[in-house]
Every structure is written in C-alpha cells, then in structure tokens.
Amino acid sequence: MKHSLKDTLEKVKMTLINVRVQDFTFTFDIDTGSTENIVFDYVSNQLPNVFKPVVGCNKVFGIDGKYQENQLVEAELSIGDNSFMTQLNVVNADQTVINLQNDFGFQLHGILGIPFLEENDCVIDFKNKLFIIGE
C-alpha cells in the first residue's frame, strides 16, 4: 500500500500521514529516528476508550536528554484500507505541538517510529515521495 508524501515534504519538510483511530483522523509524523511510537497526551487523555492503557510503562530517552517513564497504550490504527494494532508511549509535547501549529498551521498528534516501521515492513521512498507499507 502506497501513500503520497509529496504535499507534506514540500510544504513542511516532514513525512506526515493521516491515521484513523475509530472515527477520528489524526496527523502522525513518520520518524525513522524515533525509537518509540508516540501519541501525545492531549490526544490519549481525551479518548481513553480509544487509546487503551497497557499494563506497565516504558522508560524512554527524551529529546531533552533525560529518561522519562511513560504510560503505554494500545490502539488500532488505520492507514488507507489497512489496520494495525500498535502500542504507543503517551508523551507530553505541548510546546512542540504549539510551535508546529503556529509555524506551519497543522496540529501533530503522534509519531510512528522504528517499532511501527519494522513491524509493518515500511519503506519511505524519498525519490518518489511515497510511504510504502508492507510491499
């Protein structure tokens, strides 16, 4: 399954993709440098029946250089016609989200990192500006 990244790469220089979770559509960044999948807390806190807590938590090395313990949640993410059960770390990134919204006019809801990319045989084709899942 192929998804175009042309618009987001040209406009904001990010690999953004729409992800559906139940009846909600969110914007996630595809980040090959992220060792974890992330959903921001302002999203998961408002939808506890959609992002279901998983027993335990995960210690993650943050961008600030410190380890932080994060709640893990699980959700069924849909991209195109395919669905993926995925675990995500719940992270507070309020200032980052505000900066992106102010600078680029969109709201970011989470990050698909290396775990999602590996589990689902994903490829980012920068030459053709495509995000390819499972081909």
pTM: 0.90
Series of mean pLDDT values for 10-residue runs along the chain (135 residues): 90 93 95 92 92 81 72 94 94 83 88 96 95 89
Question: Quick check: 69 and 59 in contact, CB under 8 A?
Answer: yes
Rounded-to-integer distance, Cα 52 and Cα 75, Å: 6
State the residue range of the domain holding 112.
Answer: 2-133
- pLDDT at position 64: 61
CATH at 46: 2.40.70.10
How many domains does the chain contain in total? 1
pLDDT for residue 26: 96
As a residue count, the chain comes to 135
DSSP character for 118?
A: H
- Spatial distance between the Cα atoms of 10 and 52, rounded to a whole number of angstroms: 35
pLDDT on residue 63: 61
